[in-house]
Amino acid sequence: MRIFVLLSRVPYPLEKGDKLRAFHQIVQLSKNNEIVLCALNPDRKLNKRDAFSALQPYCRSINFIDIPFIGRVWNILKAFVKGLPLQVGYFYSCKAGKKIDKLINDYKPDHIYCQLLRTAEYAKNHTIPKTIDYQDVFSYGVKRRMEKAPFYIKPVFKLEYKRLIKYENRIFGIFDHKTIISFPDRDLMPHPNKNDIHVIPNGVDHDYFSPRESEKNFDVVFTGNMAYPPNVNAAEFLINKIMPNVWKEKPEVKVMIAGATPDKRVLSLKSDRVTITGWMDDIRVSYAGAKIFIAPMQIGTGLQNKLLEAMSMKIPSITTSLANDALQAVDGESILIGDDALELAQNILKLLNDQELYKKITENGFHFVKQNYSWEEATEKLNNIIHKK
């Protein structure tokens, strides 16, 4: 089958969750299908040569469509007038639409696979069977951010939240198949037929993220794209709220915050006990260089790839119920869960002070992700859905 894969971003480098999911799905789908890739590109700094080289082994055709900054501003204004979500406008342009239509007409795919509702406008008028990967419930993610936003930004989030709810419902009937990353996310979808959405979880590359011996220069690590608001919020929560409770008992504990494009709010957290790394060529170094991984997520939706990666590398992990709702690990067996700063701090101290518990969470977490999260198995479910008539 020839599948036209339409993405809102070029799926390389793999520093964001949607890129990681798209890349591995393309790798797996290419084993039994012919992939025509079309990726929008709002990033003028993208190294297209490296991205093309990484994707070329898996695709018959690779097409990157640039969306210039000025065009994005204009498209957001048009979306505002039309009543569309602003992020849909951010990724939509008439010029890009014409190019995509031509590619579809030229390659005549058997199926169109769209990742994220940001790409739905480009595919909605094509009669070819198509699937949309909601991935997350964007409306609920915006709602959570709205609740924690400063008062002067709340009206913008409220507007986007209402528009996203309408749009998530509107595109539901346009696509033959719908997928999402987890059952808790599906339950949040504002549509009466939400149970028709197929749950396709993420996986983890267990060969790449495998245990390694390394000197532990840090006690605690948190990783992710550090420009992404839920990660910025979690980093601030970790350093300003959680760690003071840890430092009361163990003032020598050191923290590493690792990940691309750190926001200025993240950079301001740097101190003699807190290292901000920025982009790392090999994120595995950050996991292996720490005793404990923590993902203290307070906002956002979806499955946290960072937890899968850390646990696959045998790094005992701590998170919140919000993040574990999608992961579904057992508290006290394969992970430790806390929902406020004190609980999370106590979990860090437990792992630092109790070697038996440390070994237990390490081993059980490793076996949990090995048994439950595989790109091969997850994408095979997607492949079967796409091949349904």
DSSP assignment of 145-189 equals HHHHS-TTTHHHHHHHHHHHHHHHHHTGGGSSEEEES-HHHHHH-
For the sheet containing 255-258, what is the strand order? Answer: 274-278, 255-258, 218-223, 290-295, 317-319, 336-337
Any idea which fold 2-203+375-386 has? Rossmann fold (3.40.50)
Q: What pLDDT, on the 0 to 100 scale, is given for residue 301? A: 67
pTM beyond 0.75 = yes
Of 283, 308, 298, which Cα lies nearest the Cα of 344? 298
Instruction: Please indicate whether the domains covering 2-203+375-386 and 218-372 agree at the CATH topology level.
Output: yes
- Sole residue written with tokens 């749950």: 199
Q: What pLDDT, on the 0 to 100 scale, is given for residue 299? A: 87
pLDDT digits (tens, 9 = 90+) for 209-244: 999 999 999 999 999 999 999 999 999 999 999 999
Listed by start position, the domains of the chain span: 2-203+375-386, 218-372
Which CATH superfamily does the domain covering 218-372 fall into?
Answer: Glycogen Phosphorylase B; (3.40.50.2000)
pLDDT digits (tens, 9 = 90+) for 167-199: 999 999 999 999 999 999 999 998 999 999 999
Looking at the DSSP bridge assignments, the partners of residue 62 are 37
Strand 255-258 to 274-278 pairing: parallel
φ and ψ at 226, to 5 degrees?
A: -85, 15
